Amino acid sequence: MENSSQTKLPNQPSSSPKSPWWKRGLFGKNGIISQWFHKFLRRFSQTRETISDSTIFLHRRAMTDIRILGKNAELIDNEKFGQEEFLIFIKLKYLLSRNIGDHADLYESIRLLQLAIEAKDSFIAIDQTELSFRGSKQQDFYKYTEDLLGHYENIDVFRENIQVKLSEVIAQVKTEEGRVALQAYSKHLNRLCEDDLGLKLLSLFKTFQLADYSVLRQISELIKSLDKQDLQSYSTLISLVMANFNAFESLRKIINVSDRNHNPDNYARMVQYIALNYRHGLSFIKFDELMSILKRWYRPYQTLIGIREAHPPHLYKQPLSFQEPIAGESTYFKYVNWLTDKKAGITYIDFGTD
């Protein structure tokens, strides 16, 4: 009789039994620390709040603006803007425009002096025409111009009135030479009209009867001599001013220098600024463009930072976009650091933080 009993296989569990916790390692897939960490994350994620869709939308929109403006700022940024002399020029602009400290009440005088230097050829041509062509009709035109300088409504009205008077007078001038001289005279008046202060300067020269325009050439040559010199050296600038002090004294009333500012130190500051402006004026146009972009960038940046600070990761489930780097941020902080004097409490550029 066959043995009906069958060999039975032992039960095989589907997985190995878990070892007691004291026999498990600290690290690894089933380690104690790994399991505790995952339990913590599950509980932590359950306790954090969800950020609203409207807030995420505002964050996304700010980030889009920041990417565009930040990239534009990075493209315009130039290593020259970080050079010490250029930064001094930027700081001087700030101090002068806001009448701060030793630079108070100098800005208009600097503008008048620089314009006088640049327009010196027109002033000389106008003066020489008035001395050389003394016909009655021409003198009538000169007198009309001088009277008009005292009460014109605006530059366009001045130009229009000059052209009407010129057409009237030139038809009565007998010589071709005299007519050409009056046309040239009118052309130089138009050149002075290109700057708001041009006609004011001409009026001041006539009021104070300063016919010797050589002083303008003298100061112009002084500034040209600084072309390749260190413009941070005040001792050099003051020495040059003192050697040409008669010229500055002659122009004092024309460029509206007060008694308080009538000294070599302040004329040196004026010369320094004009020389720096000639050296860095073109670069400043690009720098100004960069600052304009950063000011526009700063508005969405405030929105972005405000949202991120109000929704920290330990309290909110942040989307990945909240961790993205911010385009333009390093450029912004670079100029904040360069243009901030912590000791004096002055920030030499306004990004819209005030």
**pLDDT value at residue 28:** 55
15 pLDDT tier (thresholds 50, 70, 90): very low
* The token pair that represents 281 in the structure block: 């004026």
Residue 82 has pLDDT above 50, yes or no: yes
Assigned domain for 98 exists: yes
- 180 vs 319: CA distance, rounded Å: 76
- 251 vs 215: CA distance, rounded Å: 8
**Same domain for 274 and 132:** no
Assigned domain for 279 exists: yes
**Same domain for 174 and 242:** no
**Same domain for 240 and 185:** no
**Same domain for 98 and 231:** yes
**Same domain for 109 and 127:** no
Assigned domain for 273 exists: yes
What is the arithmetic mean of pLDDT over 319-331? 96
Encode pLDDT of 147-199 as tens digits. Answer: 999 888 899 999 999 999 999 999 999 899 999 999 999 999 999 999 989 99
**Same domain for 222 and 296:** yes
Encode pLDDT of 108-137 as tens digits. Answer: 999 999 999 999 999 999 999 999 999 999
**Same domain for 106 and 128:** no
**Same domain for 320 and 242:** yes
**Same domain for 268 and 297:** yes
* The token pair that represents 181 in the structure block: 């001289």
The pTM score is 0.80
Assigned domain for 203 exists: no
Give all strands (DSSP E) within 287-351, no chain letters: 316-317, 340-341, 346-347
**Same domain for 226 and 188:** no
Can you give the residue range of the structural domain that contains 176?
121-194
Residue 20 has pLDDT above 60, yes or no: no
Query: Quick one: which of 249, 265, 228, 284 has its CA closest to 81?
Result: 284
What is the arithmetic mean of pLDDT over 261-265? 96
**Same domain for 227 and 337:** yes
Q: How many domains does the chain have?
A: 2
Assigned domain for 69 exists: no
Assigned domain for 257 exists: yes
- CA distances 208 to 67, 130, 152, 255, 283, Å, are 57, 16, 19, 11, 37
**Same domain for 335 and 221:** yes
From 194, 227, 257, the end of a domain falls on 194
Q: Provide the mean pLDDT of the chain.
A: 88
DSSP 3-state of 9: coil
Assigned domain for 63 exists: no
Assigned domain for 27 exists: no
